[in-house]
Amino acid sequence: MPRKITENTTYVGHIDWEIRHFHGEQLSTYHGTSYNSYLIQDGAKTALVDTVWGPYSKEFIAKLQRTVGIENIDYMIALHGEPDHSQALSDVMAIKPDLPIYCTENATRSLKGFHHKDWDFHTIKTGDTLDLGNGKFTFVEAPMLHWPDQMMAYYDRDKILFSSDPFGHHFASDQLFTDKVDASSLIYESVKYYANIVSPYSAMVIKKLKEFAMLNLPLEMIAPAHGLIWRKVNTDLILKKYAEWADNFKKDKITIVYDTMYESTRKLAIALGEGIREADRSVEIRLFNSSLNDIADINTQIFASKGVLFGSPTYNSGVLNSTAGILEELKGFRFTGKKAAAFGSYGWAPMSVKIIAQKLRDANFQLFEPEGLSVNWNPTEEKLAEARKFGADFAKFCNE
Ligand code: FEO
């Protein structure tokens, strides 16, 4: 149902209560999500900011027809070409084929690439404006947040920043505003979103936050493309969080991620944790069997850690599937300022620890003991004591 956010701005997006995985099956979304679209009825002119994902296009079109009538929309603002925000655009354009679309140069590529249509594109650059009669949009390019085609749009009459993916969260709620829902769930979903989607582009986040601050625009709301709207009461909170998350974020936490076949690597994981605790009484220690836990949640824990111990037994001269999957994701995230070490058991050839250590190097971790901790067969008491010492030394290394 359309919901008024302000006198001029109406929420016309789709709340997806059912989705449990996003980006195919890559990212868990236990709290659902939303595909946010906003209708700005400024007086003389009307603009639509983004559309929704294809499966919900029919409901979206019906909602727009009820609310405004698509013929009466004057401008389409496409902040980003990814299908979760643009797939319903084809159905909007089928009703009003001459609707001008304002987007970045790169978004003309992504939108043409997905829709195969040569619509009336108007490309924008940072600082360009679009006058609606009473208020106006100011556009800010935001490449790599999270695609090269991204931009943000500031509507001065309501002092709303339509931020696209940044500041979003996969969180379904009909409350509209972030200050009306459980704060700890919301912040968890926000940091999970940052770790799994935004973190590879942290340098750009820092740059954009500075650029936006320099524009000195009064801000009442940040309206992202997923989840709920940040109001004046907490816009500073999420801006501060983004500044923290973008800047080598880490807590006093060490995460141990392992997979195991016959308990040997699991025993090492436990012993490593005991060693860490002996050396550091206050650090938070979390253990995750990577085959039993959700990968996006593990990534989030790693993002918040100062150190990570990563283990797998050797399996067919390699590592187990769950280990390989996480290491591949970590390479893409390029987390910064984190320390790590590899461990694992083997029967016939000590391969897994070498492979994990190399993958951790490739993923930008600073390695402790490049050779890692490799144990043959079932660890003896002596080997478990060695693992405890390894854990204790790693804890000290993380505090250096
Ligand atoms: Fe929610 Fe990058 O799209």
Inter-residue contact 309 to 272 (CB < 8 Å)? yes
21 is known as an active-site residue: no
Write down the pLDDT at residue 20: 97
Per-residue pLDDT tens digits for 288-344: 999 999 999 999 999 999 999 999 999 999 999 999 999 999 999 999 999 999 999
Q: In the predicted model, what is the mean pLDDT of the chain? A: 97
Q: Which fold has domain 254-398?
A: Rossmann fold (3.40.50)
- Mean pLDDT over 358-363 rounds to 98
Alpha carbon 62 to chain centroid distance?
30
Whole-model pTM above 0.85? yes
Q: Which fold has domain 3-245?
A: Metallo-beta-lactamase; Chain A (3.60.15)
Q: Tell me, using a 6 A CB cutoff, whether residue 85 lines ligand 1.
A: yes
Q: Tell me, using a 6 A CB cutoff, whether residue 165 lines ligand 1.
A: yes
Per-residue pLDDT tens digits for 215-264: 889 999 999 999 999 999 999 999 999 999 999 999 999 999 999 999 99
Query: What angle, 0 to 180 degrees and rounded to 10, lies between the N-to-C axes of helices 352-362 and 321-333?
Result: 20
85 is known as an active-site residue: no
Write down the pLDDT at residue 317: 97
Q: 326 CA distance to ligand 1 centroid (A)? A: 21
- Ligand 1 nearest-atom number relative to CA 35: 1
382 is known as an active-site residue: no
Write down the pLDDT at residue 146: 86
Specify the domain boundaries for CATH 3.40.50.360 within the chain.
254-398
Q: Tell me, using a 6 A CB cutoff, whether residue 50 lines ligand 1.
A: no
Q: 81 CA distance to ligand 1 centroid (A)? A: 8
- Among 102, 193, 194, 201, the active-site one is 193
Tokens standing for 227?
A: 């989840």
pLDDT band at 266 (very low <50, low <70, confident <90, very high): very high
- Mean pLDDT over 176-189 rounds to 97
pLDDT band at 268 (very low <50, low <70, confident <90, very high): very high
φ/ψ of 296, rounded to 5, equals -70, -35
193 is known as an active-site residue: yes
Judge whether residue 212 has pLDDT over 90: no
- Mean pLDDT over 45-60 rounds to 98
Write down the pLDDT at residue 1: 87
Write down the pLDDT at residue 103: 98
Judge whether residue 213 has pLDDT over 90: no
- Ligand 1 nearest-atom number relative to CA 168: 1
- Ligand 1 nearest-atom number relative to CA 226: 1
Q: Tell me, using a 6 A CB cutoff, whether residue 80 lines ligand 1.
A: yes
Write down the pLDDT at residue 192: 98
Q: Tell me, using a 6 A CB cutoff, whether residue 82 lines ligand 1.
A: yes
Q: Tell me, using a 6 A CB cutoff, whether residue 146 lines ligand 1.
A: yes
**How many angstroms separate the Cα of 142 from the Cα of each of 28, 299, 363, 391?**
25, 24, 25, 42
- Among 14, 31, 80, 169, the active-site one is 80
Judge whether residue 214 has pLDDT over 90: no
Write down the pLDDT at residue 338: 98
- Ligand 1 nearest-atom number relative to CA 82: 3
Inter-residue contact 142 to 208 (CB < 8 Å)? yes
Judge whether residue 201 has pLDDT over 90: yes
Write down the pLDDT at residue 215: 86
Through-space distance between the first and last CA atoms of the chain, rounded to whole angstroms: 54
Inter-residue contact 109 to 119 (CB < 8 Å)? no
Write down the pLDDT at residue 333: 95
Write down the pLDDT at residue 105: 98
- Sequence-ordered list of residues with C-beta below 8 angstroms from that of 316, at least 6 positions apart, any chain: none
Q: Which residues pair with 38 in a beta bridge?
A: 11, 49
Write down the pLDDT at residue 309: 98
Specify the domain boundaries for CATH 3.60.15.10 within the chain.
3-245
Write down the pLDDT at residue 245: 97
